[in-house]
């Protein structure tokens, strides 16, 4: 069935409450494991309906943020989401506190119970009103960013369309693009600062109501992390600063000289190849190439792309009032993934059918897993490993997308992916500072961002950039507003993806088989165990990124065109 035809209905808080209030006492009063497992099945039937319809409402809102019906429906789920989450905690607590817990763990999964333990630490009935307020603020930010328009050389366009000029071969065009961006953001400065200030305060308030020192600990629990904590992430950031930042700074500075650039500015960071970065063929050609590629990879991936194309499970056209980012979601009841993006004629368009399709392919692979609804694919670091690794497994097929520029794309892709690690780690460091010091003013937060820029991206100058030179680049990184502490997952996953790339260059079939094995397991194993099984080192060990950085730099030397 086409995604546009999937039936939607509002799943009300009242029907969720009715199921939960029936199931929870049955679990608590059960006389056997079988009774509990039957009650669990009833709860999961309701959860399947709720998750599927909430995802449909969210998707249809993001494709048109002024659609009155789905604005209201998405708003409804924002309103009831915290209360639903509280029922989920009560349900999980009944299982966790059951006298049959040991038997349940054997019948189900220890990881499932570990996940519920973390989930219980992330939610309290005392913060429901605060969570509703948080949802309203993040939706306000999303609506504002979706509606924001920029006028570039007489043409008015959304930010996603504007940013294609950030990769233009002409330096003055890139500079003008960022000047337009900066002035456009500055016009909304007061609201951007107000929304984020309120988000920081409400998140800090929630954490303190639950007995945490600040939001950092609560934020980690909300991310559902099972195999690493703040200390391990701090070690990872130190690894990045020591072993990756100097290499990236050197590589980007040397590459800038190839572009004829001595004074490296922010507006230069989007271009890698002299004469302009490679551009893919058009939309229809991209999807035709993707179909060929996934069929060439294997039978399962071929069936997956056929499903996506036949069911029109993509929305990739950039337009006004469409959400400005990109994502993959799935409608669990129908076992149907869906991808939203904003094509703009750059190589990023190809990333949609590699990165986002990596997420979608995983959803396809685990749709029938026994804990697909509860554990999904695992933590977000695992999810991003699926997607970022797929970007690299697509390398042998790049001629289908870029023709004779395929080798240029590989060099650009590898350098930009490696350069992303310091940036993404900086985003994480910024969020730790913000939530450890919620009293910071907007100007003080901007100053902290500028300090981090000098640490993590010392080769880049923001001098003379309207608004952005004040340390405001972070304001259009949607994750900072909408999904606190998510961004480090991309960085962790990027290290795993590079390990898969290096392995694939030695033996593609073996590396892809390891990738499929990792992906099929969903959330039944934690990320560090999946890495070990794939034969890769943990990035949380001090010094563990030094060898990777050396190997990636050597690879880039061979790819340079």
Nearest residue to 200 via CA among 215, 210, 211, 213: 215
- pLDDT recorded at residue 55: 98
Q: How far apart are CA 357 and CA 387, in angstroms?
A: 7
Q: Which of 55, 82, 117 is the last residue of a domain?
A: 117
Would you tell me how many other CB atoms lie within 10 Å of the CB of residue 458?
15
CA distances from 26 to 23, 47, 93 (A): 5, 17, 13
Domain boundary among 117, 142, 177: 117
pLDDT for 320 beyond 80: yes
Average pLDDT over residues 21-32: 98
> Which residues, other chains included, contact 272 with Cβ-Cβ below 8 Å and sequence gap of 6+?
255, 411, 412, 415, 416
At 160 the pLDDT is 86
* Confidence at residue 323, expressed as pLDDT on a 0 to 100 scale: 86
Q: What is the DSSP string of 108-146?
A: S-HHHHHHHHHHHTT--GGGHHHHHHHHHHHHHHHHHHH
Rounded average pLDDT over 323-352: 93
| Cα–Cα distance, 525 to 15 (Å, whole number) | 33
pLDDT of 11 above 80: yes
Taking residues 201-208, report their average pLDDT: 98
Q: What is the DSSP letter of 5?
A: G
- Which pLDDT does position 324 carry in this prediction? 82
Q: Give the Cα separation of 122 and 440 in Å (integer).
A: 24
Is 30 contained in some domain? yes
Q: How far is CA 9 from CA 18, 55, 499, in A?
A: 17, 11, 43
Residue 70 lies in a domain: yes
Residue 294 falls within a domain, yes or no? yes
Q: Does residue 522 register a pLDDT over 90?
A: no
Least confident of 28-32, 369-373, 375-379, 557-561: 557-561
Residue 26 domain flag: yes
Inform me whether the pLDDT recorded for 258 exceeds 90: yes
**Residue 431: its H or E element:** helix 406-436
Identify which of 116, 248, 201, 178 has the alpha carbon closest to the alpha carbon of residue 465: 178
Sequence-ordered list of residues with C-beta below 8 angstroms from that of 413, at least 6 positions apart, any chain: 347, 391, 395
Residue 33 has pLDDT above 80, yes or no: yes
Specify the pTM: 0.94
Beta-carbon contacts of 192 under 8 Å, excluding residues fewer than 6 positions away, are 141, 144, 185, 472, 475
**How are the residues of the chain apportioned to helix, strand and coil, as percentages rounded to the nearest 5?**
70, 5, 25
The strand ranges marked E within 257-385 are: 314-317, 327-331, 336-343
CATH of the domain at 356: 1.10.1370.40
Q: What value does the mean pLDDT of the chain take?
A: 96
pLDDT band at 325 (very low <50, low <70, confident <90, very high): confident
Q: How confident is the model at residue 561 (pLDDT cuts 50, 70, 90)?
A: confident
pLDDT top residue among 318 and 204:
204
Cβ pair 123, 117 in contact under 8 A: no
Cross-strand pairs, 315:
340
Q: Which domain holds residue 33?
A: 3-117
Within a domain: 485: no
* Alpha-carbon gap, residue 462 to 431, rounded angstroms: 21
Q: Give the whole-angstrom CA distance, residue 386 versus residue 496.
A: 9
Q: Mean pLDDT check: name the lowest of 186-190, 199-203, 217-221, 347-351.
A: 347-351
Q: Tokens 């000047």 label which residue?
A: 179
**Stretch 294-318: mean pLDDT:** 97
The pLDDT tens digits of the residues spanning 259-270 come to 999 999 999 999
Closest CA to 178 of 482, 476, 457, 424: 476
Residue 462 maps to a domain: no
CB 167 within 8 A of CB 178: no
* pLDDT value for 114: 97
- Tally of domains in the chain: 2
Binned at pLDDT 50, 70 and 90, residue 276 comes out as: confident
Q: How many residues does the chain have?
A: 561
Phi, psi of 168 (to 5 degrees): -70, 145
Residue with tokens 């989920």: 88
364-398: pLDDT as tens digits: 999 999 999 999 999 999 999 999 999 999 999 99
Q: What is the pLDDT of residues 92-124, one digit of tens each?
A: 999 999 999 999 999 999 999 999 999 999 999
- Please determine, for residue 484, whether its predicted confidence score (pLDDT) is greater than 90: yes
Classify 299 as helix, strand or coil.
helix
Q: Which range (84-88, 271-275, 494-498) has the least confidence?
A: 271-275
Q: Given a cut of 90, is residue 337 above it in pLDDT?
A: yes
Longest dimension (CA), the chain: 76
Give first-to-last CA distance, the chain, whole Å.
Answer: 45
Looking at the domain assignment, is residue 123 inside a domain?
no
- Residue 336 β-bridge partners: 331
User: Stretch 414-423: mean pLDDT, rounded?
Assistant: 98
Average pLDDT over residues 285-311: 98
- Dihedral angle of Cα 472, 476, 481, 486, to the nearest 10 degrees: -110
- Out of 64, 87, 117, a domain closes at 117
- 438 domain residue, yes or no: no
**DSSP SS3 for 327:** strand
Q: d(Cα 6, Cα 337) in Å, to the nearest integer?
A: 12
* The dihedral formed by the CA atoms of 489, 490, 494 and 500, expressed in degrees to the nearest 10: 70
Residues 6+ apart with CB under 8 A from 315: 63, 322, 338, 339, 340, 341
């Amino acid at each position: 069935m086409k995604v546009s035809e999937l039936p939607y209905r509002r799943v009300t808080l009242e029907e969720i409450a009715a199921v939960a209030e029936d199931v929870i006492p049955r679990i608590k009063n059960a006389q056997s494991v079988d009774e509990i497992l039957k009650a669990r099945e009833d709860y999961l039937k309701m959860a399947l309906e709720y998750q599927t319809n909430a995802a449909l409402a969210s998707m249809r809102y993001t494709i048109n943020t002024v659609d009155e019906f789905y604005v209201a429906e998405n708003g409804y789920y924002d309103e009831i989401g915290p209360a639903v989450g509280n029922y989920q905690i009560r349900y999980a607590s009944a299982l966790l506190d059951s006298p049959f817990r040991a038997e349940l763990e054997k019948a189900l999964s220890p990881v499932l119970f570990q996940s519920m333990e973390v989930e219980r630490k992330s939610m309290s009935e005392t913060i429901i009103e605060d969570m509703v307020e948080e949802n309203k603020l993040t939706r306000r930010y999303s609506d504002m960013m979706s509606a924001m328009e920029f006028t570039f050389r007489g043409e008015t366009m959304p930010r996603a369309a504007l940013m294609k000029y950030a990769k233009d071969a002409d330096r003055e065009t890139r500079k003008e693009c960022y000047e337009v961006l900066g002035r456009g953001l500055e016009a909304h400065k007061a609201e951007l600062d107000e929304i984020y200030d309120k988000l920081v305060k409400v998140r800090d308030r929630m954490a303190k109501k639950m007995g945490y020192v600040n939001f950092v600990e609560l934020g980690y629990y909300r991310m559902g992390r099972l195999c690493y904590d703040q200390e391990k992430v701090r070690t990872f950031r130190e690894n990045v600063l020591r072993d990756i930042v100097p290499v990236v700074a050197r590589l980007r500075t040397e590459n800038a000289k190839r572009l004829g650039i001595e004074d490296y500015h922010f507006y230069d960071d989007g271009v890698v190849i002299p004469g302009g970065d490679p551009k893919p063929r058009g939309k229809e050609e991209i999807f035709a190439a993707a179909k060929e590629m996934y069929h060439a990879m294997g039978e399962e991936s071929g069936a997956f792309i056929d499903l996506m194309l036949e069911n029109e499970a993509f929305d990739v056209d950039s337009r006004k009032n469409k959400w400005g980012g990109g994502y993959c979601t799935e409608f669990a009841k129908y076992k149907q993934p869906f991808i939203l993006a904003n094509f703009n004629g750059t190589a990023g368009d190809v990333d949609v059918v590699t990165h986002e399709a990596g997420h979608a392919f995983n959803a396809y692979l685990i749709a029938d897993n026994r804990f697909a609804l509860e554990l999904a694919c695992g933590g977000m670091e695992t999810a991003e490993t699926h997607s970022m690794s797929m970007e690299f497994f697509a390398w042998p097929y790049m001629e289908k997308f870029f023709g004779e520029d395929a080798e240029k794309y590989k060099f650009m892709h590898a350098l930009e992916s490696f350069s992303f690690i310091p940036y993404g780690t900086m985003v994480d460091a910024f969020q730790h500072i913000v939530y450890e010091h919620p009293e910071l003013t907007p100007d003080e937060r901007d100053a902290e961002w500028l300090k981090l820029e000098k640490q993590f991206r010392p080769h880049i100058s923001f001098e003379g950039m309207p608004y952005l030179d004040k340390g405001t680049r972070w304001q259009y990184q949607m994750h900072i507003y909408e999904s606190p502490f998510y961004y480090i997952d991309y960085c962790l996953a990027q290290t795993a993806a590079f390990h898969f790339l290096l392995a694939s260059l030695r033996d593609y079939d073996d590396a892809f088989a390891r990738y499929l094995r990792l992906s099929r397991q969903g959330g039944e194993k934690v990320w560090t165990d999946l890495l070990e099984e794939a034969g890769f080192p943990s990035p949380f060990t001090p010094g563990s990124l030094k060898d990777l950085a050396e190997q990636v730099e050597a690879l880039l030397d061979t790819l340079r065109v």
